[in-house]
Amino acid sequence: MDKLLTYQFNLSSIWGIIGYVLLVTFVTWVLSRIIRAFIVQIIKRRKTDRFGKTSILFLRNSVKFFLGLFGIIYIIMTVPAFRSKATLIFSGAGILAAIIGFAAQAALSNLIAGAFIVIFRPFRVGDYIRLDDTRMGIVEDITLRHTVINNFENKRLIIPNSVISTDSVLNHTIEDSHVLSFNNFKLGIKANIDLARKIIQEEAIKLPTVIDFRTPEQIMADKEQVDVRVIDIHPDHIHMRAYVWLNEPFQEFKTKCALKEAVHKRFLAEGVQLPIPFHKVIKV
């Protein structure tokens, strides 16, 4: 037993070095798993808001990175063969150091940008954000290097923190998850506008995702729950828009589709004129 406790790796042999590296790697991995599991338990037990959850997840990812980095440095500094080589390289290779520094610039910028995202909180884990027409979805994770976004096709967008921190980000849920959805409709130039407005309002109220966002004063004044306005008149059609309040932005697309279909069926059933394509023929 004493021999087992006082056993030391023979760091002068290749097998001793391999065994030592494997042991340090295993210990580092176990510590990382234990700490990450502890952090996950904190998330589950505590009723943290999105800000707190974002910070804790970022901390969990940071633990994995820094423990791994510590393990590598520890191996280099404690194995004589590695330590002598590292000392030789870093003491006389200024150009190599410059190259490594340049290569690490992008990684460092992502690290700093990730820390700024967690500190200043332009978005949080669970927020619905939009960068452009192709990059949008739910923030799933914020790591030291990148932000993971789950889009509506259930695909993961991996965006470097340095990129997302410099882009303009539309956050639909940072303060208030309610969204005012614009729904556009086109009528024939001779269509009954009042009937069309009535149909749009009735069909919108039927949808389960539509909410009544009126104030008590507006309800007392008998203001319509869904506001429908004529916003433009063209030679071949009338452009109307319904302003519909929803509980959350995730349902906006489905609600728009359902409302367009329901309104179109009612227009056909009740004889509301639809626009006829207008072409101007010029004889030369």
Q: Mean pLDDT over residues 115-144, rounded?
A: 86
Lowest mean pLDDT among 10-24, 97-111, 169-183, 196-210: 97-111
Torsion of CA 39, 44, 46, 51, to 10 degrees: 70
C-alpha distances out from residue 90 to 81, 103, 107, 199, Å: 15, 16, 20, 76
Identity of the highest mean pLDDT range in 47-51, 83-87, 170-174:
170-174
Residues 6+ apart with CB under 8 A from 239: 184, 185, 186, 230, 231, 232, 233
| pTM for the full predicted model | 0.61
Cα separation, 202 vs 273, in Å, equals 18
CA distance 170 to 164: 11
**Mean pLDDT, to the nearest integer, of 110-114?**
81
Q: How confident is the model at residue 2 (pLDDT cuts 50, 70, 90)?
A: very low
Contact 231, 270 (CB under 8 A): no
The answer on pLDDT for 118 being more than 90 is no
DSSP letter string, 65-81: HHHHHHHHHHHHHHSHH
Q: Determine the pLDDT at residue 3.
A: 41
What is the rounded CA–CA span in Å between residue 147 and residue 142?
4
At residue 34, the pLDDT reads 82
- The terminus-to-terminus CA distance of the chain in angstroms comes to 106
DSSP 116-136: HHHHH-SS-TT-EEESSSSSE
Report which of 249, 244, 207 is spatially closest to residue 229, judged by C-alpha positions: 244
- Indicate if the pLDDT at residue 5 is higher than 50: no
Q: What are phi and psi of 210, to 5 degrees?
A: -85, 135
What integer best gives the mean pLDDT of the chain? 81
Average pLDDT over residues 248-275: 93
Contact in structure between 201 and 228 (CB atoms under 8 Å): yes
